[in-house]
């Protein structure tokens, strides 16, 4: 290859047109510039595959749909518009103080199709798998002899309840929440520690964990709980209505 390259350059060297003598260098320069542009600009055709299919914004008591329309969740005002959205992964964006009751109908779009969703409160999205009550019951009613461990995390005003699907609560008080609220809010650091302890004890790749927030829970709280579950269990089943 080197001999062939030298032969071509030698032949070009005897051409009387001086502009053609610059042709090899020009070709090399154009190739280098194209390569740099490819990596600098990021012209990767597969990059869009990671983007969600449908993006919905929640604010107040309203949902902002992909086509620009705005509907209110009161009196099921968004049901028809949401039902017409195409199946696929959904990204729901809401400020931390927006109530989960507003975001839940948007997440239900993914539940209808068994798809993954992203819940984003501005601190970064967390992947969840929304499930309707009937789907949650089916998950909880799996044969008890089946491999894996099924855990539920319930977010309520009186604290965080961590328990098994058969009703056993993990904590010092079996009749109370596993983690009481702290002076600054729910104890998500404690939740992460308890989930880590469960995983160390079980060490079963089939373990799954479901998150059941009260509808008046702020989205920011749901994201923090889901992030803790995702860290230790991977898949986050999220109850929606």
**Model pLDDT, residue 71:** 96
28 Cβ neighbours under 8 A, 6+ residues apart: none
**Model pLDDT, residue 144:** 65
Contact criterion met (CB below 8 Å) for 177 and 159: yes
Q: What burial letters (b/e) apply to 7-32, b meaning 16+ CB within 10 Å?
A: eeeeeeeeeeeeeeeeeeeeeeeeee
3-state secondary structure of 182: strand
Distance CA 58, CA 92 (A): 7
Nearest by Cα to 208 from 154, 160, 171, 165: 165
**Model pLDDT, residue 37:** 41
Contact criterion met (CB below 8 Å) for 78 and 63: yes
Strand ranges inside 16-124, DSSP E: 54-59, 62-64, 70-72, 90-94, 117-120
Q: Which residues of the chain have pLDDT under 70?
A: 1-52, 143-147, 203-206
**Model pLDDT, residue 229:** 95
Tokens of 128: 């969840």
94 Cβ neighbours under 8 A, 6+ residues apart: 57, 58, 59, 102, 103, 119, 120, 121, 219
State the greatest distance between any 2 C-alpha atoms of the chain, in Å, as a whole number. Answer: 96
pLDDT in tens, 121-163: 999 999 999 999 999 988 888 766 666 778 999 999 999 999 8
Distance CA 127, CA 234 (A): 9
Contact criterion met (CB below 8 Å) for 131 and 158: no
Contact criterion met (CB below 8 Å) for 161 and 153: yes
**Model pLDDT, residue 127:** 96
pLDDT in tens, 48-76: 445 568 999 999 999 999 999 999 999 88
Distance CA 46, CA 44 (A): 6
Distance CA 163, CA 198 (A): 11
**Model pLDDT, residue 34:** 44
Q: Could you count the other beta carbons within 10 Å of the beta carbon of residue 60?
A: 13
């Amino acid at each position: 290859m080197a001999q062939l390259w030298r032969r071509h350059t030698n032949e070009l060297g005897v051409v009387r047109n001086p502009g053609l003598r610059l042709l090899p260098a020009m070709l090399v320069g154009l190739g280098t510039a194209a390569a740099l542009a490819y990596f600098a600009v990021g012209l990767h055709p597969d990059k869009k595959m990671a983007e969600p299919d449908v993006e919905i914004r929640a604010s107040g008591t309203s949902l902002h749909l992909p086509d620009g329309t705005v509907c209110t969740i009161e009196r099921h005002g968004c049901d028809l518009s949401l039902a017409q959205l195409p199946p696929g992964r959904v990204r729901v964006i809401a400020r931390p103080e927006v109530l989960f009751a507003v975001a839940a109908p948007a997440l239900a779009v993914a539940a209808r199709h068994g798809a993954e969703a992203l819940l984003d409160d501005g601190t970064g999205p967390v992947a969840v798998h929304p499930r309707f009550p009937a789907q949650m019951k089916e998950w909880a009613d799996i044969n008890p002899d089946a491999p894996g461990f099924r855990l539920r995390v319930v977010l309520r005003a009186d604290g965080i309840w961590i328990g098994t699907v058969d009703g056993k609560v993990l904590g010092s008080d079996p009749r109370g929440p596993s983690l009481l609220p702290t002076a600054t809010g729910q104890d998500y650091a404690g939740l992460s520690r308890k989930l880590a302890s469960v995983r160390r004890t079980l060490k079963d790749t089939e373990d799954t964990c479901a998150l059941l927030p009260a509808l008046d829970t702020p989205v920011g709280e749901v994201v923090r709980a889901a992030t803790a579950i995702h860290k230790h269990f991977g898949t986050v089943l999220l109850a929606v209505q």
